[in-house]
Structure 1
Amino acid sequence: MRANKLVAVVAFCFLAVFLAYGLWLAYTPKPQTLQGQIEAREYNVSSKVPGRVEQVMVRTGDKVDQGDLLFAISSPELDAKLMQAEGGRDAAKALQTEAQNGARQQEITAAQEQWRKAQAAAKLMEKTYQRVENLFSEGVVARQKRDEAYTQWQAAKYTEQAALAMYQMAQEGARVETKAAAAGNARMAEGAVKEVSAILADSQMRSPISAEVSEVLLQAGELAPSGFPVVSLIDMQDAWAILQVREDQLADFKKGQEVTLTIPALNQSHQFVVGHVSVMGHFATWRSTESGHDFDMRTFKVELTPKQPIADLRVGMSVLYQYSVE
């Protein structure tokens, strides 16, 4: 009988402990897990120049440094426009040089000789008029002859003055306004060349950063519209984690707060810093019937940056955050 009582006491104690443990498990807060993923800065490299892809220098997975050539676009139309712009620039510069230099020496000499010729003719006509005037005074010639000689003398004087003005103008060269206009046309033509050259330079696309090629969208020979991405780059040095957090859990994600996240793909845990918190759209709202609260719960997007660089981190890797629900 005593043995039976002892067994009964032991069984009762075991049952009591089991029930107590069950109650402890029932009322102990269970750890919950939030799952997010890794994202990184992505660059879609495109060209302003529409044309045919001439060559692609990279493949998916390649590491590139800033300034490395990624691809080249061939555009015969732009080459022709550049040739036209260069021709216009050369013509405008030639006109500017002509305006700056003025008339050629031969032209100046010719104008001087014309002036001297007119000067000699004017002196001759003056002497002729004096002779006719003397004869008119003596009554030998009529007044008509005297008036004709005077008119011819005056006309020769005006011709001399006009020839002298032409000679002086040849010496002075182009007007200040003409030089300014020629210089302005030359600058306009140079600007047209630089504009086309800048567009052509954009057809040789280089990497804006040191990164990794994540995707090559077009290959050599394919047509590339203006602004269409040809190569995509991803910068894993600028990576972050994204969590979708219900607003009653935001207390664990203050800006600047450090949070431990587990990365299953690497089998590692790392410290992340909360960098930004923003509300998501109404489509992500938790309704009261689902959340267990008497009001609708909004969902927030939390961005967290790694405190230290993480080796072998890739975009799309899952991150886990464990917390307790009381």
Structure 2
Amino acid sequence: MPDPYNAPDNLNNANDVNNAKIDTQTSQDTTTVPEYHKQSNANKTLKKIIIAFIVIIVLGFIGYGLIISNEHSAPNTVTFQGQMQMQQTSIAAKVPGRIAQILVTEGDKVEVGQQLIEMDSPEINAKIAQARAGKDMAQSQLDKAENGARPQEIAQAKAAWQANKAASDLAQNTYQRVDRLYEEGLMARQKRDEAYAQYLATQDQTEAARLQYDLALEGARSEDKSAATAQVAQVDAKLDEALVAKQEANLKSPINGIVDDVIVSAGEVIGQGVPILTLVNTDDQWVVLNVTENYLNQFAVGQHFTGTIPALSSTDKPYNKEFTVYATSTLSDFATWRPTNNNDGFDVRTFEIKARPSNPDSRIRSGMSVIVQIDPAAVIQAQE
């Protein structure tokens, strides 16, 4: 049995045990409460970071959209690339022959009338000799017709005429005597008729001799002279043709320019119409641009624009040139952009623009690129 006297002690022990338990639980509760507060604070901080990150992303998207919108709304520079061109002249042979000598090389400057090629053509030389011989023969025929008969022939014709005239005078006197005798009855009629016939015959012979003498004095007929003159002119034309062919064989420059390309070599045999070399006229320059019609108002005929030639530009100094538009023409249908539906708009045609530089530069060569930049804002303003 428990000691009644010891009951308070037991009770105190029990109280002590209970108090110890309460203290232990209290201590446990006091250690658990700070961890919960820490976890709650960490969650709040994480939420704040996530919200801030989301706000930053949203603001970034908004800023990017504003930048893109400004880029689309701001006018961009439109760039066109053209190409320089020059007048090219192909020199071809008008007559066949062999290239004897080439007197120029690529890059040489030539002037009008300067000889470029020397050709050897025996056929042309033979035609020249033949034409000259024909001219000499035709000229001698003309001289003969112009000069008429020789003095000896004229003297001979005159002597024959005078002899026939003397015989005619004698026949006339004989006939007159016979006729008187016939009237007196002393001569038969037969004798008078014979004397009369002889008289007429000598008169005809005298007239013929006189005509021969006049012909010798006058010379050839006008028709013969005209025929001889025409023959001389015909032979002269053949000679001129042969000389021109020889001159054309030695080709000369028709323009002032630069030798761009020499196609043949010395010793080659070429035919008629075969190109031999190419010349370019550096004073006749122009640029060709392909422009869609929505920018065409910036390139109207007579307008000026500035282009940059990269081939003549340096790193720190671009080579700019002012051009003036002188021709505009539309390109073929393959250069037309066509819409796929009604919302795309209308067809956009492409035009070819040609413009000349204000001051030609001999350093410019055919094929050099030309960069042209325009401001779309000016295009829109012009359209309004």
SS across alignment from 1:288: coil
1:312 aligns with 2:363: yes
Establish whether residue 259 from structure 1 lines up as the match of residue 305 from structure 2: yes
Secondary structure of 1:89's counterpart equals helix
Please give the per-residue CA displacement for 1:135-170, whole angstroms capped at 9, x wherever unaligned.
Answer: 767877754444333322321221111111111221
For residues 45 and 155 of structure 1, what CA distance do their matches in structure 2 show?
77
Query: Is the 1:31–1:323 Cα contact (8 Å) retained in structure 2?
Result: yes
User: What TM-score do you get using the length of structure 2 for normalisation?
Assistant: 0.74
Give yes or no for the alignment of 1:209 onto 2:260: no
Q: Please give the secondary structure, in 2, of the residue aligned with 1:233.
A: strand
Aligned twin of 2:222: 176
Tell me what 1:221 maps to: 267
Compare 209-218 and 222-231 and name the one that shifted more: 222-231
> Does the Cα contact within 8 Å between 2:105 and 2:262 map onto a contact in 1?
yes
> Aligned pair in 2 of structure 1 residues 97, 311: CA closer, same or farther (>3 Å)?
closer
Q: 1:278 aligns with which of 294, 315, 329?
A: 329
Say which structure is richer in strand. 1
Q: 1:44 to 1:293 in 2, by over 3 A?
A: farther
Q: Deviations over 1:217-256 (max 9, x none)?
A: 1222222222222110011221111111111221110111
Pair 1:296 & 2:347 matched:
yes
Residue 39 of structure 1: CA displacement? 0.6
Matched, 1:287 2:333: no
- Structure 1 equivalent of residue 372 of structure 2: 321
| TM, length-normalised to structure 1 | 0.86
Per-residue deviation, 1:128: 4.5
- Letter of the structure 2 residue corresponding to residue 156 of structure 1: T
Provide the rounded CA distance (Å) in 2 between the counterparts of 1:150 and 1:26: 132
1:230 is the counterpart of 2:230: no
Task: State the distance in 2 between where 1:293 and 1:78 align.
Answer: 69
Residue of structure 2 equivalent to 1:248:
294
C-alpha separation between the residues in 2 aligned to 1:138 and 1:309? 117
1:245 match: secondary structure: strand
Alignment of 1:83-98 (within 5 A): 83-98=129-144
Q: Report the alpha carbon displacement of residue 264 of structure 1 after superposing the two structures with TM.
A: 1.2
Instruction: Say which structure is richer in helix.
Output: 2
Distance in 2 (alpha carbons) for counterparts of 1:294 and 1:74: 66
Q: CA deviation at 1:216?
A: 1.1
Q: Secondary structure at the match of 1:107?
A: helix
Alpha-carbon distance in structure 2 between the residues aligned to 1:251 and 1:199: 52
Residue equivalent to 2:15: none
Residue pair 2:282, 2:362 contacting (<8 A) in 1 also: no
- Aligned partner of residue 188 in structure 1, secondary structure: helix
d(CA) in 1 for partners of 2:87 and 2:109?
Answer: 15
Task: Calculate percent identity across the aligned residue pairs.
Answer: 38
2:201 to 150, 155, 158: 155
Q: Which of 74, 81, 88 in structure 1 is aligned with 2:120?
A: 74
Q: Which residue, out of 317, 320, 323, partners 1:269? A: 320
Quote the Cα distance in structure 1 between the aligned partners of 2:368 and 2:290. 15
2:234 alignment counterpart: 188
Report the Cα distance in structure 2 between the residues aligned to 1:165 and 1:29, rounded to whole angstroms.
107
Flag the structure with more relative contact order, 1 or 2, with Cα contacts below 8 A and sequence separation at least 6: 1
Deviates more, 1:72-81 or 1:52-61: 72-81
Q: Which runs of 5+ in 1 are unaligned?
A: none
Following the alignment from structure 1 to structure 2, what is the Cα–Cα distance between the partners of residues 138 and 24? 152
Per-residue Cα deviation, 1:65-107 (whole angstroms, up to 9, x for no partner): 2211011333322322222322232222222222222222111
The residue aligned with 2:3 is: none
Instruction: Indicate the structure (1 or 2) with the bigger Cα radius of gyration.
Output: 2
Output the CA distance in 2 between the equivalents of 1:323 and 1:303.
16
Q: Answer yes or no: is the 8 Å Cα contact 1:274–1:302 preserved in 2.
A: yes
Q: Distance in 1 between matches of 2:77 and 2:234?
A: 72
The 8 Å contact of residues 107 and 170 in structure 1, kept in 2 or not, is answered as yes
- Specify the alignment match of 2:73 in structure 1: 27
Letter in 2 for 1:315: S
- Superposition RMSD on alpha carbons, in Å? 3.1
Runs of 5+ unmatched residues, structure 2: 1-44, 314-318, 378-384
Please state how far the C-alpha of 1:317 moved relative to its aligned partner.
0.9
Is the contact between residue 287 and residue 354 of structure 2 (CA under 8 Å) also seen in structure 1?
A: yes
